[in-house]
Structure 1
Amino acid sequence: MKARYQYRIYPTNQQKQSLAQLFGCVRVVFNDALAFSKESGKYPGVSVLSSQLTLSKKTAEREWLKDVSSVPLQQALQDLDVAYRNFFKSIKGERKGPKVSPPRFKKKTSQQSARFAKTAFKLKASKVYLAKIGDLKTKWSRPLPSEPSSVTVIKDCAGRYFLSFVVEILPVTVEPENQGVGVDLGIKTFAVLSTGEKVSSPNYDKLNRKIRREQRKLARRIKGSKRRERVRLRIAKLQARKADIRKDFLHKLSTRLVRENSVVALEDLNVSGMVKNRCLARAISEAGWGTFRAMCEAKSTVIEDRQTVVISRWEPTSQICSGCGYRWGKLDLSVREVVCLNCGSMHCRDGNAAKNIEKSGLELAQDSNWTGRVCKTGLPAMPAEPSTCLDVA
């Protein structure tokens, strides 16, 4: 299976100028191909767009495209092809998930990227060579598991540069400590586990105050001025720090849960619908429930004998006693502790829901293992002989 390994790089001033020129050329090629597709009324395909790119390099308006490597320019056309294919599959209903919108034009202020194929880059001891860019100083935080097939150089909105390698990895074997765990996600407490453990999310209040203060300054700056650009960069750095803190927290928690448990049971939350509540939209977005679920599902494929099970959102996990199974009905969100009318045990609302999620998740995991087995019945089914007994009324 394939995975991405990302590393921070520190280009020189001359390399930053070369990368800026490369990003601009990739952006222009993508936008020109998209504009040509819209003008023609249908998507012409990669071969036609590639021939148009070759012709445009011979004109005076696009002659400067020859100054950069041709590999990232061709990869930009491949990206447009993937975007159109995903859009067409979404229209036909062949793609799972929400509807995909048609490709849009790239902006200069957004994140910039350029992808190099295997023929256009080379790994060295402590640096990475990119065609027509040079040797980039790379911070190797961990070794690459295999030879990369491609590398993408990225510049985020905060002005940081990264290299993202696509490598082939093999599943690892780790002995699980527990059979399964149920996870009830929340806002104040990010996750309540069926073991009784409560995991709190990082506190972003200090960063949010700084971001709001800088955004008020940005609103008073004149568009196009250097002062506005400096304030925009400060906001981007604060938001990048906030995103890094959240990503680090989610990675550590998802890795620990997947390593320690054979089955990680989650609830299918309607995050897109919950975000429409303007009172809770910021808190739900900061929590990162969808990212946490995606991380757990991805890491379950890396470690053998691991499953991430998602139970139905209509499962009444907060309405059933995890001890005796008595259903007391729907409760108001202000009720945090419940006393069962049947067995008399007291439950924490979130802890009780996590235990019910674990039970449902283990049942789904067992059902999927049973129905997904490879072996089949050896002998064909034979009709049973008629019974000679008499039914007694």
Structure 2
Amino acid sequence: MEIEKAYRFKLEPTSEQAKKLAQMAGCGRVVFNDSLDYVLNIIKKSVAITDKKAIYEHLNDLSYQDRKLLKKSFPNSAFLNKQLTSWKKLNHRAWLDDAFTDCLQQRQRDFVKALDEWSKGKRGFPVFRTRKLSHHSTMRFPAPKKQINIQNKHIKLPNGLGLVRYHNSQPVIGELRNATVSLNAVGEWHISIMCL
């Protein structure tokens, strides 16, 4: 049986890199929120409720069977990825092109997973992401073997971030499976790496 090992390191980005990380996290939030808005518009067509709070109460009060039935009308990640391509062509969303597409598509997969967990009764219906909550500022790199390179006291990240200094407290051993960069409540960036 293969055992996964997790590593977490504090990043020390330059001011320019920190700005780029914040922009990428912001793009991820927007894509998550646009995907959620798209699904809520589908729901509004099937229920006679327009108030956001009332819609959430209704959705979270639905039975397991009703949740499964409603979820069949929701788009999958592949469809949302196509939507992302069209959103990038909109004048007010053209800046989405500045973010790493793989991270944006991963946010959509995370959103679809959240919908799936809601339909199974494991959690409430997904809520809009806000910059006020630090855990909403994350980006996951789904193919870290291609996207990330650990070099002594630096981690090379894609999308023009380059070599980002990090607190190398222990060697990373194993095959990289996924990596997530996140912001904590005091404004520090960290990277979590899962290895096999």
Q: Which band: TM-score by shorter chain?
A: 0.7 to 0.9
Among residues 101, 107, 117, which one is paired with 1:86 in the alignment?
Answer: 117
Cα-to-partner distance string for 1:292-347 (whole Å, 9 max, x where unaligned): xxxxxxxxxxxxxxxxxxxxxxxxxxxxxxxxxxxxxxxxxxxxxxxxxxxxxxxx
Q: Is the counterpart of residue 140 in structure 1 residue 168 in structure 2?
A: yes
Amino acid aligned to 2:31? V
Cross-structure match for 1:104 = 127
* Cα contact 2:8–2:190 (8 A) shared by 1: yes
Larger radius of gyration: 1
Among residues 27, 30, 39, which one is paired with 1:37 in the alignment?
Answer: 39
- Alpha-carbon offset, residue 72 of structure 1: 0.6
Amino acid aligned to 1:126? K
The count of aligned residue pairs is 160
Distance in 2 (CA, whole Å) between partners of 1:85 and 1:161 is 29
Structure with bigger RCO (C-alpha 8 Å, 6+ apart): 2
- Alpha-carbon offset, residue 83 of structure 1: 0.7
1:19 is paired with a residue whose SS is helix
Q: Which runs of 4+ in 1 moved over 6 A?
A: none
Distance in 2 (CA, whole Å) between partners of 1:108 and 1:145 is 33
TM-score by length of 2: 0.78
Cross-structure match for 1:129 = 156
For residues 17-56 of structure 1, the aligned pairs below 5 Å read 17-41=19-43, 42-56=73-87
Distance in 1 (CA, whole Å) between partners of 2:120 and 2:149 is 36
Cα-to-partner distance string for 1:107-157 (whole Å, 9 max, x where unaligned): 111121101122322222221111121111011111112121221111111
Among residues 75, 100, 109, which one is paired with 2:106 in the alignment?
Answer: 75
Cross-structure match for 2:183 = 155
- Alpha-carbon offset, residue 2 of structure 1: 2.2
Amino acid aligned to 1:9? L
Q: Is the counterpart of residue 62 in structure 1 residue 90 in structure 2?
A: no
Distance in 1 (CA, whole Å) between partners of 2:23 and 2:86 is 20
Cα-to-partner distance string for 1:149-173 (whole Å, 9 max, x where unaligned): 22111111111110000111xxxxx
Cross-structure match for 1:335 = none
For residues 240-255 of structure 1, the aligned pairs below 5 Å read none
Distance in 2 (CA, whole Å) between partners of 1:36 and 1:3 is 36
Distance in 2 (CA, whole Å) between partners of 1:161 and 1:62 is 25
For residues 253-264 of structure 1, the aligned pairs below 5 Å read none
Q: Is the counterpart of residue 167 in structure 1 residue 192 in structure 2?
A: no
Percent identity reads 29
Cα-to-partner distance string for 1:91-122 (whole Å, 9 max, x where unaligned): xxxxxxxx511111111111211011223222
* Cα contact 1:22–1:114 (8 A) shared by 2: yes
Higher helix proportion (structure 1 or 2): 2
Cα-to-partner distance string for 1:166-186 (whole Å, 9 max, x where unaligned): 111xxxxxxxxxxxxxxxxxx
Unpaired runs of at least 5, structure 2: 44-72
Distance in 2 (CA, whole Å) between partners of 1:120 and 1:31 is 25
TM-score by length of 1: 0.40
* Cα contact 2:152–2:168 (8 A) shared by 1: no
Distance in 1 (CA, whole Å) between partners of 2:5 and 2:117 is 21
1:73 is paired with a residue whose SS is helix
